[in-house]
């Protein structure tokens, strides 16, 4: 990438840009060596670089959220597999940050084991019947002596086939009241808990996805995250965090796509001149740069707000707008790259293949964009319900 474009895209705060560069270099050293390892081994290697560590701050350093986002962008830039980057980002921002009190004030503090990659978490919300409407869930936890008995099944859960602990949302009261759900931290070796089907995905195929089955699993009262009935509130926090930052995993792949496409447009000869001499081709490349530029600004702005102490719930509308905007920019960038690569976009090993399914999946996870739009409009006072 030439200097002007590099400068244009370096729109994050300078300390964050340094972390991006640092993690790009660190991950580049291990990416090739570990590419053949199984998912958990690759996870541990990247965690060993400090990607999941909640550090940062100080006079010259970025805050912990910004540092995490920059580290994720850096490993993506190094070419680390997007499925692995997605799963790391989902755990870091959808679980570790919003639930850090719950992970550190229990009988034992599992923060260290999670941060260094020994313990892997998953977020079990969706059921086979659907994910957008949590109050329709059937999984239930009934009080029994001094604990709960958990019954039901969760489906389409990232990392369920390989995780050690699940954050499980279950019904503790009937009906669609805001206090009907409770969140539990459930070790997956608890008697009565088993792993069901593993789902092979067409999008992000390397991130394992599966089902969790609960057949009268007994949980102690200490398994409750927050309080009984606060599940919807916990979920609002985890999903707001995830919406705010999950697309951070895409920044590395988006930049690689732009660099590769700009190079191709400069170098390919077409009609007796470089392809990039066509205004239409140039406009597509500019649109790709604009998409990446605004995606970086949006994500790093949210990270800075979270570092400054704004709660994710206060940022719920911005998080939804950012998730919609970056996911749709990622889809459009991929469309431009595909158009400009021609047939090579569909030929493995051409160096110009483009994966449309990973970006398209971003329209669905962490809340489908259609429903997020409804929520944003509601916050603007429109009388619109889900």
Ligand X SMILES: Cc1cc2nc3c(=O)[nH]c(=O)nc-3n(C[C@H](O)[C@H](O)[C@H](O)COP(=O)(O)OP(=O)(O)OC[C@H]3O[C@@H](n4cnc5c(N)ncnc54)[C@H](O)[C@@H]3O)c2cc1C
Work out whether 205 is an interface residue with ligand X (CB under 6 A): no
The DSSP string of 120-178 is -EEEE--BTTBSS-GGG---EEEEETTEEEEEEEEEEEETTTT-SEEEEEEESSSSS-T
- When binding is defined by CB under 6 A, the residue of 89, 126, 151, 295 that contacts ligand X is 126
Measure the CA–CA gap between 70 and 90, rounded to whole angstroms.
Answer: 15
Contacts of 336 (CB under 8 A, 6+ apart): 261, 284, 285, 287, 288
Respond yes or no: is residue 242 known to be catalytic. Answer: yes
Work out whether 130 is an interface residue with ligand X (CB under 6 A): yes
In the set 242, 259, 267, 318, the catalytic residue is 242
Work out whether 249 is an interface residue with ligand X (CB under 6 A): no
* Residue 185, helix vs strand vs coil: strand
Residue listed under structure tokens 């990247």 = 46
Whether 93 and 68 have beta carbons less than 8 Å apart is answered as yes
Work out whether 203 is an interface residue with ligand X (CB under 6 A): yes
- When binding is defined by CB under 6 A, the residue of 48, 370, 377, 382 that contacts ligand X is 370
Residues in the interface with ligand X (CB under 6 A) total 21
Bridge-based pairing of strands 269-270 and 224-225 is unpaired
In the complex, the smallest distance separating the C-beta of residue 367 from ligand X, rounded to whole angstroms, is 6
Which one, 124 or 288, has the nearer CB to ligand X? 124
Measure the CA–CA gap between 338 and 261, rounded to whole angstroms.
Answer: 9
In the complex, the smallest distance separating the C-beta of residue 271 from ligand X, rounded to whole angstroms, is 41
Which one, 132 or 311, has the nearer CB to ligand X? 132
Q: Which stretch binds ligand X (CB under 6 A): 213-221, 278-286, 348-356, 366-374?
A: 366-374
Measure the CA–CA gap between 221 and 198, rounded to whole angstroms.
Answer: 30
CA dihedral 23, 26, 32, 38 (to 10 degrees): -80
Which one, 124 or 319, has the nearer CB to ligand X? 124
In the complex, the smallest distance separating the C-beta of residue 204 from ligand X, rounded to whole angstroms, is 5
- When binding is defined by CB under 6 A, the residue of 56, 63, 131, 231 that contacts ligand X is 131
**Per-residue x/- track, 84-123, ligand X (CB under 6 A):** --------------------------------------xx
Q: Give the pair of three-digit tokens for residue 45.
A: 């290697």
Residue numbers at the binding site for ligand X (CB under 6 A): 122-126, 130-132, 156-158, 203-204, 361, 364-365, 368, 370-371, 374, 386
State the catalytic residues: 242
């Amino acid at each position: 990438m030439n200097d002007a474009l590099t400068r244009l895209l370096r729109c994050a705060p300078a300390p964050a840009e340094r972390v991006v560069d640092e993690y790009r270099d660190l991950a580049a050293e291990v990416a090739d060596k570990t590419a053949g390892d199984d998912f958990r081994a690759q996870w541990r290697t990247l965690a060993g670089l400090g990607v999941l560590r909640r550090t940062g701050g100080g006079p010259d350093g970025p805050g912990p959220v910004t540092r995490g986002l920059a580290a994720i962008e850096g490993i993506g830039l190094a070419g680390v597999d997007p499925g692995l980057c997605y799963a790391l980002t989902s755990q870091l921002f959808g679980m570790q940050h919003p639930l850090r009190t719950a992970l550190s004030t229990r009988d034992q503090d599992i923060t260290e084991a999670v941060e260094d990659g020994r313990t892997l978490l998953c977020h079990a919300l969706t059921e086979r019947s659907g994910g957008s409407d949590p109050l329709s869930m059937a999984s239930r936890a009934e009080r029994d002596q001094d604990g709960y008995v958990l019954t039901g099944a969760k489906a389409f859960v990232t990392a369920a086939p390989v995780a050690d602990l699940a954050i499980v949302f279950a019904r503790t009261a009937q009906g669609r009241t805001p206090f009907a759900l409770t969140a539990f931290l459930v070790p997956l070796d608890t008697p009565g808990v088993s792993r069901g089907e593993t789902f092979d995905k067409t999008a992000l195929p390397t991130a394992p996805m599966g089902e969790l089955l609960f057949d009268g699993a007994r949980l102690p009262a200490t398994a409750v995250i927050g309080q009984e009935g606060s599940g919807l509130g916990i979920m609002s926090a985890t999903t707001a965090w995830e919406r705010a930052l999950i697309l951070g995993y895409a920044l590395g792949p988006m930049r690689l796509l732009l660099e590769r496409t700009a190079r191709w447009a400069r170098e390919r000869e077409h009609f007796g001149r470089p392809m990039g001499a066509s205004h239409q081709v140039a406009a597509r490349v500019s649109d790709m740069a604009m998409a990446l530029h605004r995606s970086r600004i949006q994500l790093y702005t949210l990270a800075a707000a979270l570092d400054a102490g704004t709660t994710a719930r206060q940022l719920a509308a911005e998080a939804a707008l950012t998730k919609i905007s970056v996911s749709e920019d990622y889809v459009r960038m991929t469309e431009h790259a595909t158009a400009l690569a021609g047939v090579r976009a569909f030929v493995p090993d051409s160096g110009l293949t483009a994966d449309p399914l990973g970006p398209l999946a971003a329209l669905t996870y962490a809340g489908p964009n259609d429903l997020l739009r409804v929520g944003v409009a509601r916050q603007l006072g429109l009388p619109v319900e889900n």
